[in-house]
């Protein structure tokens, strides 16, 4: 079940929660909400249910408590009575967000109990991988085999680890003689095409030995590219499939660009290397050299025919030229970009920079001026070059109080508001999305204003972005959790705007945010990192749930950023990059001599980290504007990036 432990924190917040809009009166809502949170907390702690009060049963999101109990009971004591209750609940809530998790769990329970009579007519549109397999098994068990083989083969060929629920139907395919060697090879190649070497080896077990060797070699090239490619370069008579060679070399280039360049001539000298494959290898080697800031990258890009160029190559060859200070080459390569690419603010800025470096500041002034009014990182850099003020193009959104009031009283919006106030953000977002289906941009902007009034900043900002409304800076840059931010700013000796900027980029002010890597809370701290930082700063050791508490999460994230800034001699660009990409990466990215920060940032090899640094710098400027303060200049925030200090 997905009943989050944040219910343990919710009861303490009850007194601070504002009344919601809805059918109940303002005096009833807080009591009903408190009963709801307490009931969900008991459920989460595996305590017996208590009788529900009349106020609770009338509560606008009471159905979510009913749904949570159904899902719990389906894991504990499923029977026909519970099946009837689940079926009745789903029929009463057709198409509503509250029914989605109940339906999935009930179908899974029916499948586990092999209640195919209930399962089959209710699973026609399932897309969940396990439920798709359950449906295939149900058809097999009920002898509904018309077209079953084709459907099962389609699932068998998917290059993903199959759910356990597919085992019986896959065994049936095998017994029918339908899993041919050719299909087994196709399946394995599909896994290899996704660079999933481990899965490919599992699939290769079904491939005859006579066909297996090249597939296993391909798998080895993905997992251990350097030694395998070294063998192939040393022994040119050894056979290798072109796609396998390309996949392995691409992997090597990304992990060890220097060695990839070293070994490239020997691989190109192998017999039978088609011109198209040679171009692919050269492209991979050049990109790998650029990612690793190898001085040979510019020459490597020169070896690639224009016909083999694509957008990543066109961009990275310019970055390599910038890193190596070759502004003449950078200018020529920018001018050779297709118009759709060269018209981006990024390349318009670097075009101007290259002109300034080759023809002088006066020649570049008009080029900088064309983008200096943009509200983005490159616009600010251009404005600095001209000593012009930044133009944030602030335009408040038009307010429509009547539209907001009408929205606030829509049943789906009432539920979304209450769910958000009960720390059920995922469920609240589902209700919000459903309630706004079909709404035009004008109404969505009013909804964004409404969400901001509720303190639901993540949804407010996301909704504005969906409408293309970016000019309402005050709405897009709220300043929540200021008590925690102030505490953190004093502790870490950092400007409040820097902390807010990191918070906005990391979590969009969602205190319950959890990443795929299990980074948690407003500042997206990994639990182990948070504990280590707390020890170093003599702070209370945070439990995993404490990172959802702003009073714990914000100071920990701030002092961690302070540590990184201390480590990199107050260089903000490096500290931010390390916060996102990790200190180990920064050590590999440092230049050998002082370098302009804009050049260094442009050459960050991780797209996510490069964008992260640039966006946070934009956020810092926006937060200063919202406060009415003088906006900081990137020219000041971004001094030259220094090389690493010599080892003592």
Catalytic site positions: 506
Q: How many CB atoms lie within 10 A of CB 336?
A: 14
Cβ burial, residue 360 (10 Å; 0-12/13-18/19+): exposed
Residue 117 CB neighbours (<10 A)? 10
SS (H, E, C) 336-363: CCCHHHHCCHHHHHHHHHHHHHHHCHHH
**Any idea of the CA torsion for 482, 483, 485, 491, to the nearest 10 degrees?**
160
Query: CA–CA separation, 528 vs 253, rounded Å?
Result: 31
Are 525 and 547 in contact by the 8 Å Cβ rule? The answer is yes
| Contact (CB, 8 A) for 380 and 634 | yes
Structure tokens at 442: 């004008």
Q: Which residues pair with 641 in a beta bridge?
A: 595
In sequence order, what are the residues at sequence separation of 6 or more whose Cβ sits closer than 8 angstroms to the Cβ of residue 91?
none
Rounded to an integer, what distance in angstroms lies between the CA atom of residue 213 and that of residue 508?
A: 49
- Return the axis-axis angle of helices 496-507 and 482-492, rounded to nearest 10°: 120
Closest among 595, 553, 603, 554 to 577, alpha carbons compared: 603
d(CA 508, CA 522): 8
Q: Cβ distance 506 to 553 under 8 Å? A: no
- Residue at token pair 């008991």: 42
Concatenated DSSP letters of 313-340: HHHHHHHHHHHTT-HHHHHHHHHTS-HH
In this structure, the number of other CB atoms found within 10 A of the CB of residue 288 comes to 28
Q: What backbone torsions phi and psi does residue 514 show, to the nearest 5 degrees?
A: -135, 125
Q: 602, exposed or middle or buried, with CB in 10 Å at 0-12, 13-18, 19+?
A: buried
Is the separation of the CB atoms in 484 and 555 below 8 Å?
yes
CA dihedral 285, 286, 289, 290 (to 10 degrees): -150
């Amino acid at each position: 079940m997905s009943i989050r432990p944040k219910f343990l924190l919710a009861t303490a917040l009850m007194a601070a929660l504002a009344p919601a809009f809805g059918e109940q009166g303002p005096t009833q809502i807080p009591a009903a909400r408190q009963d709801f949170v307490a009931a969900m907390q008991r459920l989460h702690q595996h305590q017996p249910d208590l009788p529900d009060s009349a106020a609770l049963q009338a509560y606008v999101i009471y159905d979510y408590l009913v749904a949570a109990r159904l899902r719990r009971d389906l894991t504990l004591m499923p029977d026909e009575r519970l099946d009837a209750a689940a079926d009745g609940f789903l029929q009463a809530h057709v198409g509503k967000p509250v029914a989605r998790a109940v339906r999935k769990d009930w179908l899974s329970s029916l499948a586990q109990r092999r209640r195919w009579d209930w399962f089959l007519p209710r699973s026609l549109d399932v897309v969940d991988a396990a439920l798709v397999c359950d449906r295939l098994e149900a058809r097999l068990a009920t002898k509904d085999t018309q077209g079953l083989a084709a459907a099962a083969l389609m699932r068998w060929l998917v290059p993903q680890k199959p759910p356990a629920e597919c085992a019986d139907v896959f065994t049936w395919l095998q017994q029918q003689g339908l899993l041919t060697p050719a299909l087994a090879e196709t399946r394995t190649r599909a896994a290899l095409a996704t660079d999933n070497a481990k899965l490919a080896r599992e699939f290769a077990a079904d491939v005859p030995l006579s066909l297996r060797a090249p597939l296993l070699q391909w798998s080895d090239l993905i997992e251990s590219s350097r030694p395998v490619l070294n063998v192939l370069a040393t022994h040119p008579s050894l056979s290798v499939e072109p796609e396998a060679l390309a996949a392995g070399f691409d992997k090597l280039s990304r992990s060890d660009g220097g060695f990839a360049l070293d070994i490239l001539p020997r691989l190109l000298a192998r017999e039978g290397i088609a011109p198209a494959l040679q171009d692919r290898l050269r492209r991979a080697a050049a990109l790998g050299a650029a990612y690793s800031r190898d001085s040979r990258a510019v020459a490597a890009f020169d070896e690639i025919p224009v016909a083999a160029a694509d957008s990543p190559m066109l961009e990275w060859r310019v970055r390599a030229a910038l890193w190596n200070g070759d502004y003449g080459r950078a200018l020529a390569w920018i001018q050779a970009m297709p118009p759709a690419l060269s018209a981006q603010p990024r390349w318009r800025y670097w075009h101007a920079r290259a002109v300034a470096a080759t023809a002088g500041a006066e020649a570049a002034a008009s080029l900088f001026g064309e983008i200096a009014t943009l509200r983005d990182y490159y616009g600010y850099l251009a404005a600095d070059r001209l000593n012009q003020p930044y133009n944030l193009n602030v335009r408040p959104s038009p307010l429509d109080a009547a539209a907001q009031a009408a929205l606030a009283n829509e049943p789906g919006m009432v539920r979304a508001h209450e769910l958000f106030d009960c720390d059920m953000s995922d469920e609240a977002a589902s209700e919000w999305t459903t309630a706004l289906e079909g709404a035009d941009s004008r109404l969505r902007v009013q909804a964004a204003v409404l969400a901001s009034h509720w303190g639901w900043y993540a949804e407010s900002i996301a909704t504005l972005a969906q409408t293309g409304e970016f000019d309402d800076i005050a709405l897009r840059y709220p300043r929540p959790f200021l008590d925690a931010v102030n505490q953190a700013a004093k502790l870490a000796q950092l400007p409040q705007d820097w902390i807010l900027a990191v918070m906005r980029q990391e979590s969009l002010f969602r205190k319950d945010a959890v990443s795929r890597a299990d980074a948690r809370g407003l500042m997206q701290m990994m639990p182990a990192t948070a504990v280590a930082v707390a020890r170093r700063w003599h702070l209370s050791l945070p439990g995993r749930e404490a990172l959802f508490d702003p009073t714990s999460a914000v100071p920990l994230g701030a002092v961690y950023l302070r540590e990184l800034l201390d480590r990199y001699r107050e260089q903000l660009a490096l500290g931010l990059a390390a916060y996102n990409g990790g200190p180990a990466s920064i050590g590999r990215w440092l230049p050998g001599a002082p370098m302009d920060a804009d050049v260094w940032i442009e050459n960050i090899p991780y797209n996510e980290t490069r964008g992260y640094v640039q966006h946070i710098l934009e956020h810092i400027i926006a937060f200063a504007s919202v406060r009415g303060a003088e906006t900081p200049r990137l020219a000041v925030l971004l001094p030259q990036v220094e090389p690493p200090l010599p080892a003592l």
